[in-house]
């Protein structure tokens, strides 16, 4: 369960894709209390930047260590990456929201938890 805080560290897995980009925009538009944004993507996108609340934020490579200190992890990078990394994020203490269903489309949101 996520404890109420004044701000959250939010990771976006698939940050450079169409859905990940939209997630970042919605976080800003809705003024979600993000203290630190962690955009995660493949090695192809690493070193690039995303814009969040008028600031350029460097894109990091998704690794098993990416979720240290992350409160919320938003996944939009495909079922295979979700199956591999969502349990790792949960184990690190993050609440995971994954919009890619395990069986593909149609889209349904699901949440990973420590069960």
Render each residue's pLDDT in the chain as its tens digit; 115 residues. 678 899 999 999 999 999 999 999 999 999 999 999 999 999 999 889 999 999 999 999 999 999 999 999 999 988 888 889 999 999 999 999 988 655 554 444 455 555 4
In angstroms and rounded to an integer, the radius of gyration of the C-alpha atoms of the chain is: 13
Position 105 scores a pLDDT of: 47
Q: How distant is the alpha carbon of residue 82 from its chain centre?
A: 10
3-state secondary structure of 19: helix
Q: What is the pTM of this model?
A: 0.87
Rounded distance between C-alpha atoms, residue 39 and residue 41, angstroms: 7
Q: Tell me 10's DSSP state.
A: E
Given CA atoms 56, 24, 96, 14 in this order, what sign does their dihedral have?
negative
The full length of the chain comes to 115
For the chain, the maximum distance between any two Cα atoms, rounded to a whole number of angstroms, is: 38
Position 107 scores a pLDDT of: 47
**To 5 degrees, how large is the angle CA 79–CA 82–CA 87?**
145
């Amino acid at each position: 369960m996520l404890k109420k805080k004044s701000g959250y560290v939010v990771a976006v897995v698939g940050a450079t894709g169409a859905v990940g980009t939209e997630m970042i925009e919605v976080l800003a538009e809705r003024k979600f209390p993000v203290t630190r944004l962690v955009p995660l993507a493949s090695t192809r996108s690493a070193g690039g930047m995303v814009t969040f609340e008028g600031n350029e934020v460097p894109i990091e490579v998704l690794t098993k260590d990416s979720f240290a200190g992350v409160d919320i992890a938003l996944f939009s990078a495909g079922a295979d990456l979700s199956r591999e990394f969502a349990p790792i994020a949960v184990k690190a203490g993050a609440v995971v929201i994954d919009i890619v269903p395990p069986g593909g489309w149609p889209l349904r949101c699901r949440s990973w938890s420590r069960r």
